[in-house]
Amino acid sequence: MIPTHLYFFLNCIRNFVNKANVTCA
């Protein structure tokens, strides 16, 4: 299972790469 914080971090990077709205805290 992927840790929630790790999943959020990866998703954040994906958004950045896609030039989407970065919701990194």
In total, the chain counts a number of residues equal to 25
Task: Say how far apart CA 25 and CA 15 lie, in whole Å.
Answer: 13
In the predicted structure, residue 12 carries a pLDDT above the cut 70 = yes
The residue with greater pLDDT, 23 or 5, is 5
Average pLDDT over residues 7-21: 77
Contact by Cβ (8 Å): 3, 11: no
What is the structure's pLDDT at 14? 82
Average pLDDT over residues 1-15: 81
Please, what is the average pLDDT of the chain?
74
The residue with greater pLDDT, 12 or 23, is 12
The CA–CA distances, whole Å, from 3 to 6, 13, 20, 21, 23 equal: 5, 16, 23, 22, 18
